[in-house]
Every structure is written in structure tokens, then in C-alpha cells.
Structure 1
Amino acid sequence: MEVAVIDRVIENIRSLPIKCALAAISGGVDSTTAAVLVRRAIGDRLRAVFIDTGFMRMNEPMHVRESLKDILTIEVIDARDRFYRELLGLSDAEEKRVRFRETFYTVLSEVAREYGCDWLVQGTIAPDWIETRGGIKTQHNVLEQIGIDTASKYGFKLLEPLKEFYKDQVRELARALGIPIGIVNRQPFPGPGLSIRAVGELTLEKLDVVRRATQIVERRLEGLGLSQWFAAAWEYDVVYSEDLSRMVSGLGGLNAYLFRVRATGVKGDSRSYGNVVLVRGDPGNWGLVYDLYRYLGASPDVTHVVYELMGRGSGRYFVSIRAVLTEDFMTADVARIPRGMLMEIAQEVLINDDRVAAVGYDVTPKPPATIEYE
């Protein structure tokens, strides 16, 4: 089946009047699969680049280039200072995403003109434009589907060979194309990167906290068969909620607090930007932790519920561990990770960064939460 699909996609690409196509590679399975398909169709008329936005994980640009060197030649474009100028200081989740999109495509437009490319290859898949059209959150790689004319605005036409596929289907295509298994199974990483995992006001310090915590969380949870696992960080600024504490009073010695920051969720088919609840205390039975969202997520203003694993008396930031299982990324279940493992990860994060005051585990499925926080 995959071979027939691949042949059809390649023939469709060959039917287009492409002089030169620029592929924006992230290192994930979507953008890589799209680029490989186009390369098979047009050969050396494809140019591949990786835009270093400054919001990447540790050593990511070099890791991506090295991982794909046998199937794609990738040029790394250093645009960190430009993205920092545009995004640092922003707090609103949607404003971050929109500003990132504008900066990203302005940079790509300049690169495309330099190379003489008239098409841009993207790894846009179905959930990207479905969520953007639905108003849940703006995916940076969704343009034409929301009425943006890329030819007049940026000077290139869009080539999105995967836009009708879902993640599991893209992985099947990638295997059939011979893409390295490390890329096929690589967990998704959002286009805006750590800028939307540094929740709330975007600062260089918060980015550094997220980057360090991400390295620990990804390493410790790798190999468990998870769909996505990462760390996010925001200010450890909470206020006690008597109403929410009452909702979990029957689950043991638990209390609920509200963070100052807000996060994105899904209510029905639309976007919700609401409260992040912190739960502290001993649930008695660890399994009850995974029921917290059933009690607290029913509140219309709550989008994420996080259970505090470990804390200390000093530090400015809270680190949240997020780990989910999903087939299509439209819905997702919380991964039930042993308490001991989570406590070890929390301890390592605290030991390695004295700016972190506490570490928790997000126990909210999608919906009512989104997988990311912004």
C-alpha cells in the first residue's frame, strides 16, 4: 500500500512546474518524509535547510544534520538573534506562535530568493491545519489553509505532500522510503520549539531552564514506548484554591493551587486558554493521581492539572514533565509512569538546576488539555 501511495505522491509532485524547491527540515518525521518524497521526484532541484531559531534542544542543529547526512544534504541557517529580537518578552501563547510564524517565513523567503527557489516544501500533516482552522492553536506551518497567499507574501508556492495524512500514516511512508528509524520514531517537536514550552513570558533564562530539564526528561523516559515526552517550565507562583481543594478532598491529603500562568486546552472542538492547577499532598494510592483531572478538569476554567512530585524551599521556576500516548495526536492519554521513576527524574532536575523550585507531572489527557501548553 505504501509503495502505491508513494508513487502517486511522487507523480503529483512531478506534474508541478518546479524550478527549485526549498525544504525546511526540522529533524522530525514529517518534514524529513516530505523532503525525501520531493527529492525523489525532482532530484538536485531540492535544497534542504535547517533554521536554527535559538529555541532548539541542546545540540539539535548538528544532531539533525548528522542524522540525515546519508539521505539529505542540509545547510544550517543561524537565525537565533533575529528570533530573539522578535519573541523575547512575549507572554501570550498565540502571539508567540504568530510572531514565530512571521519570522520563520520571512527568513525562509530570503533563503528561497538567494537560492532561486520558487517552491517551499513543508511537512504539514492533517492535525496541523485541523487544529489551526478549529481555533485550538496556530500551527506555524499552516498558511494556505487559513487564507495566506504565500506567493504574493513570501515569493514561493507551497508544496505539502503530506497534508492529508496523519502521524501514524506518515511513519509508515517514512519506513517504506528507507528513512533512518531514529527519525521515523523520533517524537514530535513543535515548530516554535522551546519558546512555547517556556510558558508565559519568554526569557533567555527560562529557555535555559527548559533546555536543561528537557535533556534530562527526554533521556530518562526514552525507550518506554511513549508518543511524546518533554519538559516545560514557568514561574513557581501559585495561590491556594479552596474550591478546587474541596473537589479533591476525598482523594487523600491533597490541596489544589492555581498557577499565575495559563495554558491552552481543548473544550469541545475549540481552543480554551485557562488555568493550570497544581495539586500537592499524599494521594495515599498513586493510581489516584491519574484521576485528578476527572475531578478538576470538569471545571470550565481548567485546562491542565499537574501533580507536584518534589520541591524545595528556594528557586524561581516550576518544571512540568509531560508524557503521553497517542495514535494520531488528535487525542492523547497520560502515560502511567511508575512513581519511583518520576521521583528520580524530579530529583535529577532539582540537583542540576538550583533555579528550579519544584517539579511535577502533568496528568491531563487531550482533551481537555492540549499536548503542549501553548
Structure 2
Amino acid sequence: MTFDPQKFIEKKIEEIKKLVGNEKVLAAVSGGVDSTTAAALTFKALGPEQIKVIFIDTGFMREGEPQWVKEILKDVMPVEIVDVKEEFYKRLMGLSDAEEKRKVFRELFYNVVSREAKKWGATWLVQGTTAPDWIETTGGIKTQHNVLEQLGINVREKWGFKLLEPLVELYKDEVRAVARALGLPEEIASRQPFPGPGLLVRVVGKVTMEKLEVVRKATKIAEEGLKELKPSQYFAAVWEDELGEKIMEEPEVYLYKGVRATGVKGDLRAYGPIALVKNVEWNKVYDVWKDVIHRNNEVTHVVSELVEEGEGKYTVSIRAVVTENFMTADVLRVGKDKLEEIANEIIKNVPHVKRVVYDVTPKPPATIEYE
């Protein structure tokens, strides 16, 4: 049956009104299509007297993002920026384990939400949880920060609010259709997904301010360079550039020392090494991951070298995928010249970068994000 966004909106507005009654609601938007659509739908149902929309600036956002979101949504709904950067930096700097980072972030995020809800007198929190979020979390692939009740977390007891999740049965293409039907700006409706913990999950391994600034600057360059190709998701990530064991001779393949990223093996999460491929013929670059993983089944991501500068201490990885539902994804096949142009700009403009690579692993066996 064809999805009808207008019918969905009408049905949900009735449900929200009935469920919430005269109580107050808080919505935390990230600027991504899921959270913004959920907030806009609830705003349409209840109006400004009952719902307050906030943007929590955790310090792990892209350059200028909080102000951009507030400005682009001003004609749809008012957005208040809540600056809690220092609170998040204090707890997250120095952490290395991917799952620990996600869990600490989730705890901090909902503590802030709880605080803001009490100020507003809200008993409900609206959030943009979608079907892939809870499927991945309950399936053990990774902890999505916005999946709570599906894990048995009693949010009312823990944080003092009830959850309103109007999009929980939808997939990304359906959410985008609802966004457009609600009249959200196209920049939001077609926006690529951005993880709740933001750049935190793209600082692979130990979190430091230096790595965070590297990935923030590299992200801006990578997004600018790739946007005309319209990938489903595209970004930069950073980790320490230290090569360990050589696992293949032709082409040359090394494992990064002490660097691990998330992948999918069967239906479960895997947490394994990242492999670097050097000097591979470009016509073979998008298939080389099969040989690498055949050689070492623990590898979760395979990246191909674009530029090695020789100075600096970090690898920046460019990741771009195409997908319809985000449950599986193919690598965007980009020409070598285009990628090298982006890589050289990163080397030239971002301090401390030694090497720039392109991730050539589909999902599965990799996840789209690194952590």
C-alpha cells in the first residue's frame, strides 16, 4: 500500500491531541529530518502554548549548526538554543570505548532534557525515533541515544517525562515525505542524517578537543565537496594514524594500530580493526574490501588511501553512501580526481592531518558510522 503523508499527519494530530490533552510538551530538535519532523508535527497539533522546541548544543555539532537550525526553522516554529557544551566536554573528553561514549552521551542528554522539561512544566518529550533506530538498538548493533522505552528504560521514573514518538513506525523516505507535507524547508526535508551524539561518534577512539576540531573542519570540506553528488549520507571521521600489522602484499594492506570501529556480522554488532589499502588500482577500489575481509574476518571497515602528506598524526576518513532505508547501504562510487581534490583541501586547511582515505565498505559488513 502506498504511503500517504497527508493521511498520516491527520491521524497523528488526532492521536497527539487525545494523548497529551492539556499537558505541556518539550521537543529537542537536532536539525535532522527525524527530530525536526516529529517536533513540527506535534507543534502543528498543539501550538506554541503547549509545546516548547529546544536545540541542545552539546559541543559536538557541525560548524555553525545551532544558529543555522534556529534561523531556518523560524517561520515554522521558534527554537531556543540551550548551550551545555562544557557539561558534555567535562564528561566525554578522554573516553575511548564506542559504546561507553554513546551511553554517557545519552545519560547527559536526557539529564539536560529533564532539567529543561521541569523548567517548562512539561510532562511529555517528543522525539524523532524511527523504525531503524529501535531495530538496530534492540538487535544489538549499536545503542541509538534516542531509543529508551524499547530497551525497557522507564523514562517517567528516571527523568520525569513520558515519551511521544509519532514517527516510530516510519522509515527515512516516509519521514521525508511527512516533512514536505508539513511544509518544512527542503534543506531540512532532504537533509542527510546526523547522529544524535553528533561528531562524538566520528572521533574514533579517545575523545580530545584536537581531534574534535580536526573532524569539525574536515566535515565542512567533505560535505561541501560531495553535496552535488547527492549521497544519502556523507561525512568525515578522524583517528590516530599509526599503522600496525601488514596483512596483504598485493595490494598493500595494513591494520591501524589500536583503532577499532563498529560493523555488522550476521545481525549482530562487531567491533573490529580498520584496514588501510595502499596503491590499489582505482578500477578495483570498490571491490577490494571483499579480499581484505576474506583475509581477516575481524576487520569492520576498509579504507583506501587518497593522500599521505607525511606530517601530522591523524587519518581523516571520508565516508559517502547511498541507501533507501539505512538498514543496508552501498558505497558512493566517486571518481579518484574528485576525492583527491577533497583530500588535498583537507590536508591544506586542517592542521595535524597526516593521511586522508576513502571508506570503501558497504553496510554490512560495516555500519555507516564508525562508532
Q: What TM-score bracket applies, with the shorter chain setting the length?
A: over 0.9
**Is the partner of 1:66 in helix, strand or coil?**
helix
How many Å apart are 1:184 and its aligned residue? 0.5
Aligned match of 2:189: 184
How many Å apart are 1:294 and its aligned residue? 1.2
> For the residues of structure 2 that align with 1:342 and 1:173, how far apart are their CA atoms?
34
Runs of 4 or more above 3 Å deviation: none
Identify which of 40, 44, 47 aligns with 2:44. Answer: 40
Aligned match of 1:327: 324
Aligned match of 1:11: 14
> For the residues of structure 2 that align with 1:9 and 1:128, how far apart are their CA atoms?
20
How many Å apart are 1:280 and its aligned residue? 0.8
- 1:177-222 CA-to-partner distances (Å, cap 9, x unmatched) read 1111010111111010111101000000000000010010001111
Identify which of 215, 224, 230 aligns with 1:219. Answer: 224
Residue 278 (structure 1) aligned with residue 283 (structure 2): no
For the 8 Å contact 2:214–2:351, the answer to whether it is kept is no
Identify which of 306, 312, 333 aligns with 1:336. Answer: 333
> For the residues of structure 2 that align with 1:353 and 1:156, how far apart are their CA atoms?
42
User: Where does structure 2 lack aligned partners over 5 or more consecutive residues?
Assistant: none
> For the residues of structure 2 that align with 1:63 and 1:364, how far apart are their CA atoms?
32
> For the residues of structure 1 that align with 2:228 and 2:11, how far apart are their CA atoms?
34
> For the residues of structure 2 that align with 1:93 and 1:354, how far apart are their CA atoms?
25
Aligned match of 2:150: 145
Aligned match of 2:102: 97
> For the residues of structure 2 that align with 1:60 and 1:199, how far apart are their CA atoms?
21
> For the residues of structure 2 that align with 1:229 and 1:258, how far apart are their CA atoms?
23
> For the residues of structure 2 that align with 1:46 and 1:297, how far apart are their CA atoms?
49
How many Å apart are 1:223 and its aligned residue? 2.0
Look up the equivalent residue of 2:288 and give its one-letter code.
L
How many Å apart are 1:300 and its aligned residue? 2.2
- 1:140-196 CA-to-partner distances (Å, cap 9, x unmatched) read 000000001111100000000001100011011111111110101111110101111
> For the residues of structure 1 that align with 2:292 and 2:107, how far apart are their CA atoms?
36
Aligned match of 1:60: 65
Residue 307 (structure 1) aligned with residue 304 (structure 2): yes
Aligned match of 1:124: 129
For the 8 Å contact 2:25–2:125, the answer to whether it is kept is yes
How many Å apart are 1:240 and its aligned residue? 3.3
**Is the partner of 1:297 in helix, strand or coil?**
helix
For the 8 Å contact 2:106–2:145, the answer to whether it is kept is yes
Residue 245 (structure 1) aligned with residue 248 (structure 2): yes
Aligned match of 1:2: 5
How many Å apart are 1:297 and its aligned residue? 2.5
Residue 23 (structure 1) aligned with residue 27 (structure 2): yes
**Is the partner of 1:274 in helix, strand or coil?**
strand
Aligned match of 1:355: 352
How many Å apart are 1:105 and its aligned residue? 0.1
> For the residues of structure 1 that align with 2:350 and 2:28, how far apart are their CA atoms?
33
> For the residues of structure 1 that align with 2:149 and 2:350, how far apart are their CA atoms?
42
> For the residues of structure 1 that align with 2:123 and 2:297, how far apart are their CA atoms?
46
> For the residues of structure 2 that align with 1:218 and 1:70, how far apart are their CA atoms?
26
User: Where does structure 1 lack aligned partners over 5 or more consecutive residues?
Assistant: none
**Is the partner of 1:223 in helix, strand or coil?**
helix
**Is the partner of 1:123 in helix, strand or coil?**
coil
How many Å apart are 1:47 and its aligned residue? 0.3
> For the residues of structure 2 that align with 1:142 and 1:287, how far apart are their CA atoms?
41
How many Å apart are 1:86 and its aligned residue? 1.1
Residue 292 (structure 1) aligned with residue 288 (structure 2): yes
- 1:56-110 CA-to-partner distances (Å, cap 9, x unmatched) read 1101100110111110100000000000111110000000000000000000000
Alignment RMSD, CA only?
Answer: 0.9
How many Å apart are 1:43 and its aligned residue? 1.1
TM-score (norm 1): 0.96
- 1:271-326 CA-to-partner distances (Å, cap 9, x unmatched) read 00001000111x33x12000111111233201000001001221110000000000
> For the residues of structure 1 that align with 2:304 and 2:6, how far apart are their CA atoms?
46
> For the residues of structure 1 that align with 2:359 and 2:61, how far apart are their CA atoms?
22
Aligned match of 2:179: 174
> For the residues of structure 2 that align with 1:193 and 1:320, how far apart are their CA atoms?
16
